[in-house]
Structure 1
Amino acid sequence: MNATSCPLMPEWHIAHWFNTDGPLRVADLRGQVVLIHAFQMLCPGCVIHAIPQARKAHELYGDQGVAVIGLHTVFEHHDAMQPHALQAFIHEYGLRFPVGVDAASADGQPVPRTMARLGLRGTPTTLVLDKQGRLRLNHFGHVDDLPLGTILGRLQAEATPETG
C-alpha cells in the first residue's frame, strides 16, 4: 500500500485528557509524525512492552517532530480502570506524554468509541500516522523497538505537507 492510498486517521472520541493543557484533536497534530499507543493499565502486554516503549519514544523523539499519544481504551474491567486510577498509573509510570481516555460507547457496549471506530482488536495496539495524518501502521500486539524506530525515522524524513 503506498502512502497516498492510506486512510486519514479519523478524529478520536476522548472523554478526558491527562498531561496536556487542553483537548487534542488528530487534525491539530498534522505536520508531525504521530505514535499512538492504545493500552489498558491492567493489560500485561501494555505494562511490559507498550508503556515503556511509548515512554522511550517520547524521550527520544518527542522534541524531534514525533508526537506520542496514549489512548487508554478500556473494553473490559471498566470499574477498575476509572480516570482516578489512570491518573495514579500515569504518575507511577512517569508518563509525560498526553494520554486520552477513550469515550464510552453511546449504546452501552463494552468497546469504547474510538476503539470501535478504528476497528481495534485489543491492546496493546500501535498506530503511526504520517505528517499528513494518514494511518501508516495499525498493529495489534507488540512492535519491536527497531522496526518501530525505522518506521518513525522514515516518516520523519518524508517531506512536510504544504500548508495553506
Structure 2
Amino acid sequence: MDLQRFKNLSQQRGNDNKKFLQGMKKKDPRKVDDAFHETHEEVFEEIDCLTCANCCKTTSPIFYQNDIERVAKSLRMKPGDFIEKYLRIDEDRDYVLKSSPCPFLDSENYCMVYEDRPKACREYPHTDRKKMVQIMELTYKNTQVCPAVLEIVERLKKVF
C-alpha cells in the first residue's frame, strides 16, 4: 500500500468527497445503508488491512471502561496501570492512546491485542453499520485515514 499516494489522493478529492457525503444525508437512509454495505463488502474483498494499518499508525480509538478492563486483563495489568502507561484524556474527555503508532501494532501490522481490542477498533472503519447517514462527518474523516473508505466513497459517487 502506497500511503503517500493515498494521502495525496485523499487530499485532492477531499472537498468533493465532503460535499458528496453531506449530500448523502438527504437520501433514503435504507438505500444509503444498502449501497455502503454492498460496496464495503466488495472493497474489503480486494483490500487487505494488513498491507496498510494506517488507522493504527495515525489515529487512536476511544477506549471505554470495558475496553480498558479487557485489554488490561489480556496484558495481565491492572486497569489503572494500563491507563497510566498507555492512555490520556483528550479534548472530548475520552480515553485515547498517548502515542501513535498504536503500541500494540507489531512490525508486520498485526495487532498484539487483536482478540481483546477496543470496540472502536472492532467496528472500524464503520462503513458497514446501520444508519450511515448519521455518520457522514466521521466517514469523511475516515477517507483521510483509510484507503478502503476512500475507495468505497469513490465507488459510491458513481452510483449516486
TM band (smaller chain): under 0.3
More strand by share: 1
More helix by share: 2
